[in-house]
């Protein structure tokens, strides 16, 4: 009886399929939870006034784009970094905090603090769903 060291490795197509399914589910869950946040914020905001980023047509495509960009970053760190876990431990929180900049930037355009905080919450939701999904479907090598 011979053993093949490759028997435990998954074919690339299986890994790609798992990643695609996982990321699709992460996108659907993120958009769904962001819809709840947007609905709550819109219900609390005055009818008149500037509102930004709380319409499905605005946040859904940006949610998906953020997930795809985050996945690209994860993939590059996973492939290139000597210690991807250490890099991502710093990079993920930094990127999430930087994503708040436009959320607070809309205050200058006349949006309310509640509008801005709703967008911050949306970014936290996307990161909170996407990072564990990526850890599962694109696992990091063991140190």
CA distance to 63, 77, 129, 140, per residue, from 88 (Å): 20, 7, 15, 10
* Residues 27 and 19 sit within 8 Å (Cβ to Cβ): no
Longest dimension (CA), the chain: 76
pLDDT tens digits for range 70-123: 999 999 999 999 999 999 999 999 999 999 999 999 999 999 999 999 999 999
Indicate the pLDDT class of residue 2, thresholds 50, 70 and 90: very low
Question: Contact at 8 Å (CB) between 45 and 116?
Answer: no
- pTM for this predicted structure: 0.87
Query: Would you tell me how many other CB atoms lie within 10 Å of the CB of residue 42?
Result: 15
pLDDT digits over 82-95, tens only?
A: 999 999 999 999 99
């Amino acid at each position: 009886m011979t053993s093949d060291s490759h028997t435990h490795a998954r074919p690339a197509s299986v890994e790609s399929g798992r990643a695609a399914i996982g990321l699709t589910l992460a996108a659907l869950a993120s958009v769904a939870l962001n819809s709840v946040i947007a609905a709550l914020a819109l219900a609390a905001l005055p009818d008149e006034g500037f509102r930004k980023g709380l319409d499905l047509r605005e946040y859904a495509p940006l949610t998906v784009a953020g997930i795809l960009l985050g996945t690209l970053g994860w993939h590059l760190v996973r492939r290139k970094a000597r210690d991807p876990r250490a890099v991502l431990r710093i990079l993920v929180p930094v990127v999430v905090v930087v994503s708040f900049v436009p959320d607070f930037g809309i205050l200058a355009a006349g949006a309310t603090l509640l509008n801005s905080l709703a967008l911050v919450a949306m970014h936290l939701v996307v990161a909170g769903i996407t990072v564990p999904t990526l850890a599962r479907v694109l696992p990091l090598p063991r140190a």
